Amino acid sequence: MALTTRRPAGRSTLGAARRDPSAPWRHIDGILLLCTLCVAGIGVLMVYSATRGSAPPYDHGPAVRQGAFAVGGAVAMVVASLVDYRALRAWAWAPYVACIAALVAVLTPLGLYVNGAQRWIDLGPFQLQPSEFTKLAIIVALSAMLASWNGEVGPRQLVVVAVALGVPAALVLQQPDLGTVLAFLAITIALLVVGGVRARVLFLMGVVAIAGAVLVLTSDTLEDYQAARLTSFIDPEADVQASFNQRQAVIAVASGSLMGQGFGDGQQTQHGFVPEHETDFIFVVVAEELGFVGGAVLLVLYSVICWRVWRCAHLARDLFGSLLCVGVLVMFAFQIFTNVGMATQIMPVTGIPLPLVSYGGSSMLTMFLAIGVVLNVHMRRFR
């Protein structure tokens, strides 16, 4: 009689999991993960340079907080990649409703008023900016809707999309924050294109969007300084005061030349000629201190991130996964182009942060969560 040995059930199951070629952990996009971490690391360094002061003793506080935000974001990214993204379809409206509630709370006495805008909720060591998380919430909610319609997007569906976009947009405009509303709009249009909306419908939506933008600019929705920034971009000489920030930013970028003035040695940024240089104009710090080479390296890393997200959208096994990736791609690309454009005077100043680099916990956590969702889609493309 032949003797047989039986392996313990637990060990056999573990071995089978290790051999399973479709196991999610086998399909982590390492390039996307590495580039994301590199950009976040650059962000911590540039925030330190922008906020430490021009002479000892240096202030390490903002950089330490930015590092903590990055670590927290990395943990959130891992968590977002663990749970199957398809489960989000059943709960797609939960983060959307939560963000709407938070946006309403911002406009109450709970909201924190800083520099002419009421966009934050003070949570002690952390100032929550709900509009940042709302970008991702809109991506998830609209992706779930469009995937359920399976390319059949008619007038009724468009009304639903318009309401889903209009509610958070109206609340954010009350803060006021036109840049974030433009990001909402760019994300929505991209998702509609992928979701199957016809070209003529998109054209009509573009006309409506332009009319809405004109209405906002000519109304009292925006603060005077915000309207001046937008109009001064068209004619800088018409309002020298409003265009001052961008002119100083361009001078700083140009002074960086090829190799830059050295880390922590940027004359324009270190001596306060460029305001908000740790947030809105953080790319100015990169260009002035690290030069064209440093700025190019950062943009190459961003390009690789966008390419890998686009690749994940193509490899996704379902429409929902593709829509999630496209939404994240547009969110990243729009903010990168707008922020760098502000620093180089090819875009008006709208206060859009540079993803993973600008100082701020809400933006950092949102971008890491978004990358986690993309990694999730890539990891489960065979299951």
Please tell me the distance from the alpha carbon of residue 143 to that of residue 151, in angstroms, as a whole number. Answer: 11
Q: What is the mean pLDDT of the chain?
A: 83
Kindly list the domain boundaries of the chain, sorted by start residue.
Answer: 37-51+76-379
> What whole-number percentage of the chain has pLDDT above 70?
84
Alpha-carbon radius of gyration of the chain? 23
pLDDT digits (tens, 9 = 90+) for 46-65: 999 888 876 777 778 889 99
CA separation for the pair 20, 29 (Å, rounded):
17
Query: Is residue 322 predicted with pLDDT exceeding 60?
Result: yes
State the average pLDDT over residues 319-334. 95
pLDDT at 129: 92
**CA 90 – CA 301 distance, rounded (Å):** 34
User: What pLDDT shows up at residue 221?
Assistant: 60
256-281 mean pLDDT: 80
Q: Quick one: pLDDT at residue 371?
A: 96
Residue bearing the bigger pLDDT, 126 or 217: 126
Confidence (pLDDT) at 283: 92
pLDDT over 90, % of the chain: 43
Q: Does position 203 have pLDDT exceeding 70, yes or no?
A: yes
The pLDDT value recorded for residue 17 is 47
The predicted pLDDT at position 225 comes to 58
State the pLDDT at residue 19: 62
Phi first, then psi: give them for residue 119, nearest 5 degrees: -125, -5
pLDDT digits (tens, 9 = 90+) for 224-243: 656 666 665 665 655 555 56
pLDDT tens track for 140-180: 999 999 998 887 777 788 888 889 999 999 999 888 888 89
Give the pLDDT score at 14.
Answer: 47
Looking at residue 2, its pLDDT comes to 46
**Confidence class for position 266, pLDDT limits 50, 70, 90:** confident
pLDDT band at 4 (very low <50, low <70, confident <90, very high): very low
Does residue 202 carry a pLDDT above 90? no
With cut-offs at 50, 70 and 90, classify the pLDDT of residue 41. very high
What is the arithmetic mean of pLDDT over 370-383? 87
Complete DSSP assignment for 188-239: HHHHHHHHT--HHHHHHHHHHHHHHHHHHHHSSSS-HHHHHHHHHHH-GGG-
* pTM beyond cutoff 0.85: yes
> Who wins on pLDDT, 257 or 184?
184
Is residue 13 very low, low, confident or very high in pLDDT (cuts 50, 70, 90)?
very low
Q: What is the pLDDT of residue 5?
A: 47
| Residue 367 or 174, more confident | 367
Alpha carbons 281 and 331: distance in angstroms, whole number: 18
More confident residue, 5 or 201: 201
Stretch 113-117: mean pLDDT, rounded?
A: 75
The answer to whether the CB of 249 falls within 8 A of the CB of 281 is: yes
> What backbone torsions phi and psi does residue 171 show, to the nearest 5 degrees?
-70, -40
Q: Rounded CA gap, 332 and 39, in Å?
A: 13
